[in-house]
Amino acid sequence: MINLDYAATAPMSPLALQGYIEAAEEMYGNASSLHDLGGRAKELLEASRTMIALALHGDAKGLYFTGSGSEANILAIQSLLNGIDEPHKNEIICSTFEHSSIKLYMEHLKEKGYIVKKISPDSGGRILPIQLEPLLTENTALVTIQQGNSETGILQDIGRISPYLKEKGILFHSDCVQTFCKIPIFAKEWGIDAISISAHKVFGPKGIGAAYINTKTRWQPVLPGTTHEYGFRSGTVNVPGIASFAIAVKELSSCMEENQQQLRKLRNCLKRLLKDHSVNAAFIEGELQLPGIAGLVLENMEGQYALLSCNQHEIAISAGSACQAGMQMPSETVTSLGYSSEEALRFIRVSMSAKTTEDELLSFTKVLQNVRLEAGIGKD
């Protein structure tokens, strides 16, 4: 099957898979145990922590492993909120294009008495400090804005947002699941309070994520008394999965620029092929863009129909975020960019890796072309 849905998940790289097998066979001890089996597992765990923190340009002491990127989002946000000792700080700002895990958790926080304000991007898909300013009050506790959107690939300049909020004493969290190891992240330099990442988006295993928390930022655990992960999260640590995560990170981060150049070529190729085959589709693009994610609004064709047609021809695409698949509702991400609800239902996402080929993109284009002709779209 042709995979054009890498933003949903990526297969494990051969090196990451081999690393997992070796760690599971040889380093199976509980990293919290005091005997030598536990000690060897602990050494591998800490070496992996250092390697992943290095890719974030952060401090290894601030990296805590979780069961997923979604869990990292929730634990990071709640741990930061727990660390605030000013009762009046009860307002949170989040973007309209956050991952479903954050949107759902915002609803939970509302039930706990927090006031949640949503902020939409400008016409260029950006959220800038000048847009945040009117929403900030003395009660603002935290702002969460993802770095790269999973549906459109539009990027936010979090390196600019973070210092602005830092000056105002407001905590800042960013979901970097889609951007980690694809574009540089400078956690320490930017002073971001918390970052969320995930292994399976970078050709590592599923079931492993991490939250990076600035070592200068105060936080309190979600579950008091937890001993694992330095008090951040309970549960025996998945050392083989984490070791595999670290291998995948080292492998992918070593060729970020080359991969992005190749993805830009593939994106331009996709645009050319769609045009050449008379498939009318509007590319959703921001001023800053992850080239590997192409959000398209099709002409007179619902996204779910295009997805099913591609699937019949053994091509995997998405009609939005995989975490919201099956929900017959227009994407808030797309409508927040000025598209109508009807246009948002015609949205599809094509997401590529540097190993995607032009022939695969051609096969995808021909499926859309055939569906268009069969439906009589464009005929007089």
Residues near 263 by Cβ (< 8 Å), separated by ≥ 6?
290, 291, 292, 352, 353, 354
CA dihedral 102, 104, 105, 107 (to 10 degrees): 130
Instruction: Specify the long-range contacts of residues 321-330, CB closer than 8 Å, at least 24 apart.
Output: 321/8, 321/99, 321/100, 321/150, 321/151, 322/5, 322/7, 322/8, 322/9, 323/70, 323/99, 323/100, 323/101, 324/100, 328/304
In the chain, the domains with their CATH numbers are: 2-8+256-374 (3.90.1150.10), 14-253 (3.40.640.10)
Both tokens assigned to 269: 């190729």
Residue keyed to tokens 């905590």: 171
Q: What is the per-residue pLDDT for 380?
A: 43
Please report how the helices 358-374 and 303-312 are oriented relative to each other, as an axis angle in degrees rounded to 10: 120
Q: For 125-179, what is each residue's pLDDT tens digit?
A: 999 999 999 999 999 999 999 999 999 999 999 999 999 999 999 999 999 999 9
pLDDT, tens digit (0-9, with 9 covering 90-100), for 236-254 = 999 999 999 999 999 999 9
Q: Which residues pair with 196 in a beta bridge?
A: 175, 211
Is 94 noted as a catalytic residue in this protein? no
| Token output for 372 | 């268009």
* Cβ atoms 201, 69 nearer than 8 A: yes
Single-letter amino acid code for the residue at 31: A
CA 28: distance to chain centroid?
29
> What are residue 347's DSSP bridge partners?
297
User: Can you say whether residue 300 is alpha, beta or left, with left for phi > 0 and alpha for psi between -120 and 50 degrees?
Assistant: left
Cα gap 188→200, rounded to integer Å: 24
Alpha helices in the chain (DSSP H): 14-26, 36-55, 69-82, 100-111, 129-132, 158-167, 187-190, 239-253, 256-276, 303-312, 332-335, 341-344, 358-374
Backbone phi, then psi, for 203, in 5-degree steps? 70, 25
The rounded distance, in Å, linking the Cα atoms of 51 and 247 is 8
Who contacts 309 (Cβ-Cβ below 8 Å, separation ≥6)?
A: 367, 368, 371
pLDDT tens per residue across all 380 residues of the chain: 999 999 999 999 999 999 999 999 999 999 988 899 899 999 999 999 999 999 999 999 999 999 999 999 999 999 999 999 999 999 999 999 999 999 999 999 999 999 999 999 998 899 999 999 999 999 999 999 999 999 999 999 999 999 999 999 999 999 999 999 999 999 999 999 999 999 999 999 999 999 999 999 999 999 999 989 999 999 999 999 999 999 999 999 999 999 999 999 999 999 999 999 999 999 999 999 999 999 999 998 999 999 999 999 999 999 965 455 555 688 999 999 999 999 999 999 999 999 999 999 999 999 999 987 776 655 54
| Residue (of 157, 165, 150) closest to 121 by Cα position | 157
How do strand 140-144 and strand 91-95 relate by DSSP bridges?
parallel
CA–CA separation, 207 and 30 (whole Å): 17
Token pair for 72: 């990292």
Q: What is the pTM of this model?
A: 0.94
Write down the number of H helices and E strands in the chain: 13, 12
Q: Kindly name the residue from 94, 176, 269, 323 that is annotated as catalytic.
A: 323
Is there a contact between 55 and 250 (Cβ–Cβ < 8 Å)?
yes
Three-state DSSP at 108 gives helix
